[in-house]
Amino acid sequence: MSSRKGHLRLGAFLYPTGHHIAAWRHPDSRVDAGRNFRHYVQLAQAAEAAKFDLIFLADGAGTRGDNVDFLSRTAHSYVAQFEPLTLLSALAAVTERIGLVGTASTTFNEPYHIARKFASLDHISGGRAGWNLVTSSSAHEAKNFNFDEHLAHARRYERAVEFAEVVEGLWDSWDDEAFVRDKASGRYFDPSKRHVLDHRGEFFNVRGPLNVERSPQGRPVVVQAGSSEAGKALAARTAEVIFTAQQTLDDAVAFYADVKGRMAAYGREPDDLKIMPGVMPIVGATESEAREKFDALQALIDPAVGLALVQTVTGGFDLSGYPLDGPIPELPETNASKSRQLLALELARRENLTIRELYLRIAGARGHWQLVGTPEQIVDALEARFVNHGADGYNVMPALLPNSLDDFIRLVLPELRRRGLFRSEYEGRTLRENLGLKQPVSRYALESVTSS
Amino acid sequence: MSSRKGHLRLGAFLYPTGHHIAAWRHPDSRVDAGRNFRHYVQLAQAAEAAKFDLIFLADGAGTRGDNVDFLSRTAHSYVAQFEPLTLLSALAAVTERIGLVGTASTTFNEPYHIARKFASLDHISGGRAGWNLVTSSSAHEAKNFNFDEHLAHARRYERAVEFAEVVEGLWDSWDDEAFVRDKASGRYFDPSKRHVLDHRGEFFNVRGPLNVERSPQGRPVVVQAGSSEAGKALAARTAEVIFTAQQTLDDAVAFYADVKGRMAAYGREPDDLKIMPGVMPIVGATESEAREKFDALQALIDPAVGLALVQTVTGGFDLSGYPLDGPIPELPETNASKSRQLLALELARRENLTIRELYLRIAGARGHWQLVGTPEQIVDALEARFVNHGADGYNVMPALLPNSLDDFIRLVLPELRRRGLFRSEYEGRTLRENLGLKQPVSRYALESVTSS
């Protein structure tokens, strides 16, 4: 039995054919996964039957790369797949209890659209929506939205902070009991329970109110992923779940203490935020069986793909002149996603990895934590981070779908449950209830308490 | 048997409690319809069982009105309801054959997002998506998107033309067989079948390609509603379905000939576009039963609501100083939706209506065509427009939901079928096939034909 109270939370991070970069080439992959709706229905229903808190979808509003021949060999499903909000909405209709968390960028969207779509999803799903708030660092996305280059890192975060303020303000447009809909008198809503935001800021002027009723969770759950200084500050202020990428227990514990320690400054309790590192578990009944599964995927990585992957996590720095079996060169400071870049470089330096060794190390989880072993070994590692306050749960990144999700459910969950680390039934009806997050109080209700 | 070949097409235009402005006050209304997902599931499944071509959802990205007390009595469900793309995506998962058409504005969106979401919906639904392309004339919407006032009518249409060009270009990003996904060789797509749009225009710079595979319909079906000069020009160039609002047979025939006559200039055949006027049928087994149903709804209209409604269709002109039982005053030229305004005024002048008489006339269908009568009377009117080339089908606007949709299915469809005017089974798998629209050929395929 765990020495920390409560149990950990689990997300199923669904990536079309799986998170391993070569998953689509595996004989068992559903190679058309990115546009195979039945595939996602099966995955979501399996995760729900296993009592996962949520499914999680990443996003990018563009394909990557200009060298089309290279791209056609290195691309996997991200080049063409479902858009997350349409997919999650469709999955809402065929699931009942699992949370539905989708990524939407603050860089190339308008806050009114985002507030509205996630509030609508929260109604459709009966209180299961979550918004993964990200900023977009890719020039390939920027060029689809009237920009020639991406926004600088600092400006993206300033915009994201204001964007989140507007979205949360719009979600408070209507009090819980605003819609009286009295057929006899003809009064549709109570005017005193409607609030006009009238936001005027540096990036946005948004009047409101939102044209969606206050949603079952009060507000959809807000998720974030950034681990940079600006990302941590934004998360401490806004996020209710963080999806992180620390490689070691020490780093995870330090990150956890750092972010939770910042929250008091914004009037928040540590428990108002759940830290859920990404983890790619490859599990076998024996250690050698797990290793064989992993090696089978690693063997499918084309060296050109591996090199491209290292370039992605190092901010696009051109490594083509460097020998695959030599060290990673010194890299210039770039504008790319700094935390991911630093994590990869720290890993390479810590272990003196060559370019090839680094790509083999990060190919599966793309910079996230990977675990290869028996159920006991994997649960030992998950438990250690949990009891040492390095994690409140995990966002599970199946290497190959559906196999790795099935393996996790069949082999790892029973061991987690045996140790009291995971639920056997949902505690609540909403994502917020299952995550153990409070129902948020409207800013206008807070005002009236303060002034009374 | 009809003297015109083929049968007519039917849309079910779902409006939360129904299209009649007082529908929500009716004892049979589901007063929480705007956030009642089961309500929409039942309606969509009923329309599908009855073989409707499509369901249709309107949209606006804001609530209307600043006088909150007045609004709370005059508003109906539009102030707070589901967002169309999330709702249609959810309905895609619980239907199999019916088309899913949603409204999205070109005024406050980015073409990459719209192209992507509708392509994603087309994949999720197996080829049933349609985009109702509109421009937004409301200052209340503009103020939610960083503007103080709405865009002028001409600028909105210039933006809409370019927006549609970009969206259609992005939908051609990948040829039909672009994704080879060859596990053995590691080739994910065929580079020669990927196209970079690289659009540079007055309103938009969009590089592409779209990160969604070419969809089952080639492109989602494009629907439009505008009846102004600019609207007709845009429709002749771009639309595959038009949703119109002509009140009389003569007007409908003239509009039909006008729009279809403009298409040759864009290299299009008249059959490439289906004209489907909106119609609000109130049907009873006898004429007096139909009239009683209608009167029961009319009696629920508060005079203040009626006045507000007339102001909406007359472009917001303040009528509060004018007697309800006096004539409509001369109105200034405004920037509002010109076609709707003109239609309402023509109706009032043609029949010498007072303000009260006008609101009672337009309350149900908000300026659209309304029919009150027996199944035979209603089908006579629908058949007359169809055989005289005033319509290719109709967008049915149920006055009260679910009652009026049930009545139409139970009473009107059998008479339409008896006369050979409507199908008993779907002809195709996709919306495009059922509407009798050609599968579009990619611009790049056309280029290679031309150059060979």
Give the tens place of pLDDT for each residue, B300-344: 998 888 887 787 777 777 888 888 889 888 777 654 455 666 777
- Are residue B303 and residue B350 in the same domain, yes or no? yes
Poorest-pLDDT segment among A95-99, A102-106, A154-158, B362-366: B362-366
B302 within a domain of the structure (yes/no) = yes
- Are residue A354 and residue A414 in the same domain, yes or no? no
Backbone angles phi, psi at A240, to 5 degrees: -110, -20
Q: What is the average pLDDT across A425-450? A: 90
Considering just the CA atoms, what is the radius of gyration of chain A in Å? 22
Alpha carbon distance A33, A47 (integer Å): 17
Q: Which of A339, A363, A387 is the last residue of a domain?
A: A363
pLDDT of residue B452 exceeding 50, the answer is no
3-state secondary structure of A105: strand
Cβ–Cβ contacts within 10 Å for residue B78, how many? Answer: 16
Alpha carbon distance B72, B82 (integer Å): 19
Structure tokens at B118: 């509708």
Residue B417 banded pLDDT, cuts 50, 70, 90:
very high
Residue A166 banded pLDDT, cuts 50, 70, 90:
very high
B425 within a domain of the structure (yes/no) = yes
B324 within a domain of the structure (yes/no) = yes
What HEC string does A328-389 produce?
Answer: CCCCCCCCCCHHHHHHHHHHHHHCCCEHHHHHHHHCCCCCCEEEEECHHHHHHHHHHHHHCC
B4 within a domain of the structure (yes/no) = no
Minimal CA–CA distance to B228: which of B305, B315, B119, B154?
A: B154
Q: What is the average pLDDT across B92-119? A: 97
pLDDT given at position B1: 44
Backbone angles phi, psi at B130, to 5 degrees: -140, 140
Backbone angles phi, psi at B331, to 5 degrees: -110, 145
Minimal CA–CA distance to A90: which of B251, B193, B124?
A: B124
Q: Which residues pair with A99 in a beta bridge?
A: A54
For residue B157, say whether it is annotated as part of any ligand binding site.
yes
Does the beta carbon of B186 lie under 8 angstroms from any beta carbon of chain A? yes
Residues of A in contact with B140 (CB under 8 A): 207
Cβ–Cβ contacts within 10 Å for residue A41, how many? Answer: 16
Nearest Cα of chain A lies from the Cα of B3 at a distance, in angstroms, of 42
Does the beta carbon of A176 lie under 8 angstroms from any beta carbon of chain B? no
User: Contact A224/A132 with Cβ under 8 angstroms?
Assistant: yes
A436 within a domain of the structure (yes/no) = yes
pLDDT of residue A58 exceeding 60, the answer is yes
Does the beta carbon of A207 lie under 8 angstroms from any beta carbon of chain B? yes
Poorest-pLDDT segment among A226-240, A390-404, A415-429, B100-114: A226-240
- Are residue A205 and residue A278 in the same domain, yes or no? yes
Would you put residue B28 in left (φ > 0), alpha (ψ -120 to 50) or beta? alpha
pLDDT of residue B163 exceeding 80, the answer is yes
Task: Give just the sign of the alpha carbon dihedral A345, A347, A349, A350.
Answer: positive
- Are residue B262 and residue B161 in the same domain, yes or no? yes
Residues of A in contact with B181 (CB under 8 A): 24, 31-32
A98, exposed or middle or buried, with CB in 10 Å at 0-12, 13-18, 19+?
buried
Q: Quickly list DSSP for A307-319.
A: HHHHHHHTTT---
Count of structural domains, chain A: 2
Residue A333 banded pLDDT, cuts 50, 70, 90:
low
Nearest residue, CB atoms, A90 vs list B24, B82, B93: B93
User: Contact B208/B173 with Cβ under 8 angstroms?
Assistant: yes
Q: pLDDT tens-digit profile of B165-200?
A: 999 999 999 999 999 999 999 999 999 999 999 999
Nearest Cα of chain B lies from the Cα of A246 at a distance, in angstroms, of 29
The verdict on a CB contact (< 8 Å) between A209 and B68 is no
Nearest residue, CB atoms, A72 vs list B187, B206, B300: B187
- Are residue A189 and residue A177 in the same domain, yes or no? yes
Backbone angles phi, psi at B66, to 5 degrees: -110, -20
Residues of A in contact with B194 (CB under 8 A): 68, 72
Structure tokens at A355: 């370019």
DSSP H or E stretch at residue B280: strand B278-283
- Are residue A266 and residue A249 in the same domain, yes or no? yes
Alpha carbon distance A38, B206 (integer Å): 32
Q: Quickly list DSSP for B171-198.
A: HTSB-TT----BTTTTB-S-GGGB----
Backbone angles phi, psi at A57, to 5 degrees: -120, 130
Does the beta carbon of B439 lie under 8 angstroms from any beta carbon of chain A? no
B150 within a domain of the structure (yes/no) = yes
- Are residue B255 and residue B344 in the same domain, yes or no? no
Looking at chain B, the whole-number percentage of residues with pLDDT higher than 70 is: 94
Would you put residue A66 in left (φ > 0), alpha (ψ -120 to 50) or beta? alpha
Residues of B in contact with A172 (CB under 8 A): none
Minimal CA–CA distance to B396: which of B5, B15, B1, B6?
A: B15
Alpha carbon distance A98, A308 (integer Å): 35
Residues of A in contact with B63 (CB under 8 A): 209, 211
Does the beta carbon of A70 lie under 8 angstroms from any beta carbon of chain B? no
Residue A364 banded pLDDT, cuts 50, 70, 90:
low
pLDDT given at position A1: 43
**C-beta contacts of A328-333 below 8 A and 24+ residues apart:** A328/A353, A328/A354, A328/A355, A328/A358
The verdict on a CB contact (< 8 Å) between B211 and A27 is no
Q: Which domain holds residue B110?
A: 9-286+366-448
Preceding peptide of A402 cis, ω within 30°: yes
User: Contact B139/B337 with Cβ under 8 angstroms?
Assistant: no
pLDDT of residue B280 exceeding 80, the answer is yes
Q: What is the average pLDDT across A433-446? A: 93
Nearest residue, CB atoms, A73 vs list B72, B186, B208: B186
Minimal CA–CA distance to A223: which of A336, A344, A341, A100?
A: A100
- Are residue B353 and residue B403 in the same domain, yes or no? no
Residue A292 banded pLDDT, cuts 50, 70, 90:
very high
Residues of A in contact with B212 (CB under 8 A): 35, 80-83
Q: Which of B363, B382, B417 is the last residue of a domain?
A: B363
- Are residue B351 and residue B394 in the same domain, yes or no? no
Most A CBs within 10 Å: which of B177, B188, B189, as the mutation test of the A interface? B188
- Are residue B384 and residue B319 in the same domain, yes or no? no
3-state secondary structure of A46: helix
Alpha carbon distance B18, B397 (integer Å): 8
Would you put residue B84 in left (φ > 0), alpha (ψ -120 to 50) or beta? alpha
Nearest residue, CB atoms, B188 vs list A72, A140, A212: A72
For residue B59, say whether it is annotated as part of any ligand binding site.
yes
pLDDT given at position B449: 59
Q: Which residues pair with A199 in a beta bridge?
A: A206
Q: Please give the residue that has the higher pLDDT: either A386 or A311.
A: A386
Would you put residue A276 in left (φ > 0), alpha (ψ -120 to 50) or beta? beta
A74 within a domain of the structure (yes/no) = yes
For residue B227, say whether it is annotated as part of any ligand binding site.
yes
The verdict on a CB contact (< 8 Å) between A144 and B25 is no
Q: For chain B, give the longest Cα–Cα distance.
A: 79
Nearest residue, CB atoms, A90 vs list B124, B145, B209: B124
The verdict on a CB contact (< 8 Å) between B24 and A188 is yes
Residue B111 banded pLDDT, cuts 50, 70, 90:
very high
Q: What is the average pLDDT across A317-338? A: 75
Nearest CA in chain B to A301: B186
Q: Which of B363, B385, B416 is the last residue of a domain?
A: B363
Residues of A in contact with B68 (CB under 8 A): 191, 194
Nearest Cα of chain B lies from the Cα of A205 at a distance, in angstroms, of 4
Q: For chain A, give the longest Cα–Cα distance.
A: 79
B120, exposed or middle or buried, with CB in 10 Å at 0-12, 13-18, 19+?
buried
Q: Which residues pair with A54 in a beta bridge?
A: A11, A99
3-state secondary structure of B319: coil
Residue A233 CB contacts under 8 Å (≥ 6 apart), including other chains? A157, A262
- Are residue B235 and residue B371 in the same domain, yes or no? yes
The verdict on a CB contact (< 8 Å) between B211 and A79 is yes
* Interface predicted TM-score (ipTM) of this complex, two decimals: 0.93
Structure tokens at A363: 């190919």
Q: Integer distance in angstroms from the first to the last C-alpha of chain B? A: 46
Nearest CA in chain B to A90: B90
**C-beta contacts of A163-166 below 8 A and 24+ residues apart:** A163/A106, A163/A109, A163/A111, A163/A114, A163/A133, A163/A203, A163/A204, A164/A106, A164/A133, A164/A222, A164/A234, A164/A237, A164/A238, A165/A199, A165/A201, A166/A111, A166/A112, A166/A115, A166/A197, A166/A199, A166/A201, A166/A204, A166/A206
Could you list the residues of A known to form a binding site for FMN, using ranges: 59, 103, 153, 157, 227-228
Q: pLDDT tens-digit profile of B352-393?
A: 999 888 888 877 666 679 999 999 999 999 999 999 999 999
B331 within a domain of the structure (yes/no) = yes
CATH number of B434's domain: 3.20.20.30
Alpha carbon distance A297, A436 (integer Å): 36
In the DSSP assignment, the letter for residue B411 is I
Does the beta carbon of A212 lie under 8 angstroms from any beta carbon of chain B? yes
For residue B339, say whether it is annotated as part of any ligand binding site.
no
Does the beta carbon of A189 lie under 8 angstroms from any beta carbon of chain B? yes
Considering just the CA atoms, what is the radius of gyration of chain B in Å? 22
Q: Which residues pair with A205 in a beta bridge?
A: A200
- Are residue B282 and residue B293 in the same domain, yes or no? no
Does the beta carbon of B120 lie under 8 angstroms from any beta carbon of chain A? yes
